[in-house]
């Protein structure tokens, strides 16, 4: 009888430990917990690859509570607190350079809200539930109160500088055949550094960057950061055995990207 109690205790502690580790942020450096294909800042989300519902962040707040240096167009707009922190750092620097007329038009959308947008506006304007980056908490629509983003100072500043803060202009001009989405000068996606810099420098959209990593196996940045692709969890597990201080992200398909 006692043996059973001890066994149950071990199981309970083990399960609790596992559960606690799952709740850690995907940005911190606890790779064992993040070795997951559908998690991470580099996961590809588009009309082919949906957001895994288990990855929805647990730090969703009202934008009015966590976003600074921008108007919030709709008071019900929600955003991931972590994303807001990166956004605030970016908008603060823009403000210091005199670029101040920012408006946040959309942040996090849950699957239900996304489906309503899709049902209301149709497939030419919106994506069905799960297939929008807004469902992941990693995307934000930034507008300007001084004019259309494509021509405003806010849009121009972000197009040139967002990469410094880990953001990419996700649907640029001239890439519609790859992204499947027309030019959206307002939609920014967080991928983190150095990836945003690589994509800005190479003029790659996320589809191209992930495809390059998958086919080439790695990308080495000019300052020596190695970004490596492993086509399965098992390969990635093997690779991280002797590594420390690295970051992981799934590609939302089958593999893992290790940044070291
Ligand atoms: Zn958007």
| Separation of CA 124 and ligand 1 centre (Å) | 13
| 1 inside domain | no
| Separation of CA 1 and ligand 1 centre (Å) | 58
Banded pLDDT at 21 (limits 50, 70, 90)? very low
Which residues belong to the active site? 184
| Separation of CA 21 and ligand 1 centre (Å) | 31
Least confident interval from 7-21, 49-63, 96-110, 205-219:
7-21
| 173 inside domain | yes
pLDDT for 3: 56
Look at the chain and report how many structural domains it folds into: 1
Cα–Cα distance for residue pair 59/42, rounded to 1 Å? 19
Banded pLDDT at 29 (limits 50, 70, 90)? very low
Q: What angle do CA 125, 101, 91 make, to 5 degrees?
A: 90
Least confident interval from 31-35, 165-169, 248-252, 253-257:
31-35
| 51 inside domain | yes
pLDDT, averaged across the chain: 89
> What's the distance, CA 218 to chain centroid?
20
Give the domain CATH number at 82.
3.30.1380.10
| 104 inside domain | yes
Cα–Cα distance for residue pair 234/255, rounded to 1 Å? 9
Residues with CB under 5 A from ligand 1 (ion): 141, 187
| 246 inside domain | no
| Separation of CA 187 and ligand 1 centre (Å) | 4
| 56 inside domain | yes
| Separation of CA 56 and ligand 1 centre (Å) | 17
Segment 178-209, tens digit of pLDDT? 999 999 999 999 999 999 999 999 999 999 99
Banded pLDDT at 234 (limits 50, 70, 90)? very high
| 180 inside domain | yes
pLDDT (average), residues 77-84: 98
pLDDT (average), residues 90-98: 98
> What's the distance, CA 237 to chain centroid?
23
Banded pLDDT at 14 (limits 50, 70, 90)? very low
Q: Range of 94's domain?
A: 41-205
pLDDT (average), residues 115-133: 89
Cα–Cα distance for residue pair 226/243, rounded to 1 Å? 12
């Amino acid at each position: 009888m006692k043996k059973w109690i001890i066994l149950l205790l071990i199981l309970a502690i083990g399960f609790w430990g596992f559960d606690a580790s799952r709740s850690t942020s995907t940005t911190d450096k606890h790779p064992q917990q993040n070795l997951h294909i559908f998690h991470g800042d580099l996961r590809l989300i588009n009309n082919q690859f949906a957001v895994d519902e288990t990855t929805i962040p647990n730090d969703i707040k009202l934008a009015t509570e966590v976003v600074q240096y921008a108007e919030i167009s709709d008071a019900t707009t929600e955003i991931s607190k972590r994303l807001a922190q990166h956004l605030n750092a970016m908008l603060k620097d823009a403000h210091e350079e005199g670029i101040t007329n920012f408006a946040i038009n959309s942040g996090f959308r849950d699957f239900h809200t996304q489906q309503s947008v899709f049902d209301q506006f149709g497939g030419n304007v919106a994506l069905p539930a799960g297939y929008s980056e807004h469902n992941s908490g990693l995307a934000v629509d930034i507008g300007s109160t001084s004019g259309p983003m494509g021509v405003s100072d806010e849009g121009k500043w972000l197009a040139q500088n967002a990469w410094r803060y880990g953001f990419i202009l996700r649907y640029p001009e001239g890439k519609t055949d790859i992204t499947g989405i027309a030019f959206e000068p307002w939609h920014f996606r967080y991928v983190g550094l150095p990836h945003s810099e690589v994509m800005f420098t190479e003029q790659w959209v996320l589809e191209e960057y992930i495809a390059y990593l998958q086919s080439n196996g790695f990308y080495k940045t000019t300052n020596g950061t190695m970004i490596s692709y492993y086509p399965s969890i098992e390969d990635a597990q093997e690779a991280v055995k002797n590594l420390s201080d690295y970051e992981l992200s799934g590609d939302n398909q089958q593999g893992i990207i290790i940044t070291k």
